[in-house]
Amino acid sequence: MSSLMDKAKGFVAEKIAHIPKPEASLDSLSFKGMSRECITVHSNVNVSNPYDHRLPICELTYTLKCAGNVVASGTMPDPGWIAASDTTKLEIPAKIPYDFLISIVKDVGRDWDIDYVLEVGLTIDLPIVGNFTIPLSTSGEMKLPTLKDMF
């Protein structure tokens, strides 16, 4: 025989499961720029808010893997707010050091692209529910710029 507390927990869990939650999508990785130390790539997280009030984003974490190795990772604490009843775009910049590119020259040399996996965790503070993390992932091949592209 289940207790009153178990019934209450089940009721609350069922109600929370049906609360609309923000949804997010992750764009593919693209080249952004280069410096003497690294190339910079970026992706965008597009977050839609079903509520008529803005929601705070607690943090955004990311890990970029190329050729099975982690080349960039980080946390963006308090990256802002998700606009009310709208979609908000957040940019995730990542820096890939040249020494890593040299270490995977076999993969790059064949077709001048890098196979990648980008994993993102977007943590949002939802009313009543509390912190809610949306896991996102994208993978593919990113073409590297050639000398012709830079000049």
Per residue in 22-32, pLDDT tens? 899 999 898 88
Query: Per-residue confidence at 126, pLDDT binned at 50, 70, 90?
Result: confident
Q: Does position 14 have pLDDT exceeding 70, yes or no? A: no
Across the beta sheet with 113-126, the strand order is 69-82, 55-66, 113-126, 130-143
d(CA 25, CA 48): 9
Q: Indicate the pTM of the whole model.
A: 0.78
Q: Give residue 130's pLDDT band: very low, low, confident or very high (50, 70, 90).
A: confident
Tokens coding 106: 């076999």
Class of domain 21-144: mainly beta
